[in-house]
Chains A and B, each alone.
Chain A
Amino acid sequence: MPSPVSRVGSPTRDLTGSRPVLEAPEISRALTRMAHELVERNKGAADLVLLGIPSRGVPLARRLAERIAAAEGHPIPVGALDVTMYRDDLRLRPARALEHTDIPPGGVDGKIVVLVDDVLFSGRTVRAALTALDDVGRPRAVRLAVLVDRGHRELPIRADHVGKNIPTSMRESVKVLLDEVDGHDAVLIGSEEGVA
């Protein structure tokens, strides 16, 4: 049995050799724009349900929901969808601790579910999230919103709403820091040194 190790995001991230590409005000503006795009694209926010993918997708989903609620004048259901048990790389590493899944009381049937994550990379996490969603219910549509799209997809998956496209090489790492988890907001690019 493994010791408790959390998934991708440990509370403290190694920052050696990394440079910021987005600072707090830019992240805030990107999220505001994405919130408005979501409302525009779905002709209102009536059936929207935002589900963050742990760990950093969850605070991002909450921030988007707050912005949409402020614009539309009513609260937006927001929750979390852990994909650990649906991942295709489970057997490559020791078993991981599960993150909390929290489906809003209204469920997802017939709703427009927006999956929210910090970084879109291979697309495998999103594939796992789509499979996990199958077991929760049948949304009318599923959208994907990510703060950063760094390219290098390994599956035919794309985001509907992107905070910023950041072209990267495979040797680089992209880290999103969020106030709720890390104490401040930033997006960093690092070289492979000091990166797990």
Chain B
Amino acid sequence: MRHLLSAADLSREQATLVLDTAAEMAHLTGGRAVKKLPTLRGRTVVNLFFEDSTRTRTSFELAAKRLSADVVNFSAKGSSLSKGESLKDTALTLAAMGADAVVVRHSASGAPHRLAHSGWIRANVINAGDGTHEHPTQALLDAFTMRNHLGELDGRRIAIVGDVLHSRVARSNVLLLRTLGAEVTLVAPPTLLPVGVGAWPCEVSYELDPVLAKSDAVMMLRVQRERMNAAFFPSAREYSRRYGLDARRFGLLPDDALVLHPGPMNRGMEITADVADSERSVIVEQVTNGVYVRMAVLYLLLAGGEAEAAS
């Protein structure tokens, strides 16, 4: 595989390879004086961010640097992207500069796919979030974090709660967790579920309480106020009363269940502060693991030559 565009592109074997490689990356750079590997020396990784992002961009930047690649950041603010340059012209510019990999975030679903298959550029393309479509490395780091605590995810029950409609994280997670054999339940008000969710490989529930009792992990999604251009629920208070994870609901979870959140959190909205800071919350760990998972993806996509070239 040359690109990572969707969590659905990964077979179970490939997904497991990414997670195992990430585990080895964690092991290699975790407690060591020199947290750097020479593997991608001389390669250039471009972070092309048409949408704001702090943690994903920083995480990719750190991952690429840990593997000794050169990193160039292009963000919408303060660049030609904000002057209305088209995706094609941006791609041609990056190709002319000799980018080996492009990590792209775009508000339009499908932009990374267009970039990968247009013929504009030969670089490996990694989707770092496109519109409301997918965010595959987030799903991988979530799976990696859960696997560290729960062991293999086959048969594990995972609840994904909140704004599924606008969430690329939810879609990528459903696809990847299904590939890994987990049973996923989406919990959201009907207005925050996408059309056709019935065809997704998961269960759907409008009620949170009954789902929590039988979940090995619960993933709270951020309420995306910036995408709330219509009234999806009557008020913020009503939303947190019905779908927020507070101390009472936390008590319904099995004793060893995990709490995840892709960040950034709206404390008091979808998750209360005491739950977010509890011992079973792995939210900070998710950030650390993001670097290892992205190192694994960059290594597997970029380090080898192409099979055709070798033979």
Contact = CB atoms under 8 A, between A and B. Distances in A.
Contacts of B16: 4
B39 A90 contact: yes
B304 A95 contact: yes
A185 B219 CA distance: 50
Interface string A1-30: 111100000000000000000000000000
Interface in B5-34: 10, 13-14, 16-18, 20-21, 24-25, 27-28, 32-34
A141 interface: no
Nearest to A99: B24
Given A1-B17, A2-B304, A95 B24 contact: no
A136 B32 contact: yes
A94 B306 contact: yes
A36 B39 CA distance: 37
Q: Tell me if A's interface is mostly helix, strand, loop or mixed.
A: loop
Contacts of B10: 1
Given A1-B14, A3-B14, A85-B299, A91 B305 contact: yes
Contacts of B4: 1
Interface in A61-85: 82, 85
B303 interface: yes
B310 interface: yes
Given A1-B4, A86-B38, A100-B24, A94 B305 contact: yes
Nearest to B302: A95
A137 interface: yes
Contact of A90 (B25, B301, B304, B309): B304
B310 A131 contact: no
B36 interface: yes
Contact of B301 (A82, A92, A95, A136): A95
A165 interface: no
Given A3-B13, A86-B38, A97-B20, A91 B33 contact: no
B182 to A, nearest CB: 20
Interface in B287-311: 299-307, 309-310
A135 B300 contact: no
A33 interface: no
B28 A101 contact: yes
A126 to B, nearest CB: 16
Contacts, number: 80
A111 to B, nearest CB: 15
A33 B121 CA distance: 58
A96 B39 CA distance: 12
Contacts of B21: 97-98
Interface string B162-186: 0000000000000000000000000
B1 interface: yes
Contacts of A92: 305, 309-310
A96 B20 CA distance: 12
Interface string B56-84: 00000000000000000000000000000
A93 interface: yes
Contacts of A134: 34
A131 B300 CA distance: 21
A103 B47 CA distance: 34
Contacts of A93: 304-305, 307, 310
A85 B32 contact: no
A19 B57 CA distance: 55
Nearest to B38: A86
Contacts of B300: 1-2, 95
Nearest to B42: A91
B202 interface: no
A97 B17 contact: yes
Contacts of A3: 13-14, 17
B282 interface: no
Nearest to A98: B24
A75 to B, nearest CB: 22
Contacts of B32: 135-136
B37 interface: yes
Contacts of A95: 299-304
A91 B307 CA distance: 10
21 contacts: A1-B300, A2-B17, A2-B300, A2-B307, A4-B13, A4-B16, A85-B39, A86-B38, A90-B303, A92-B309, A94-B307, A95-B302, A96-B304, A98-B21, A98-B25, A100-B24, A134-B34, A135-B34, A135-B36, A135-B37, A136-B34
| Closest CB pairs A-B (n = 3) | A95-B304, A1-B1, A94-B304
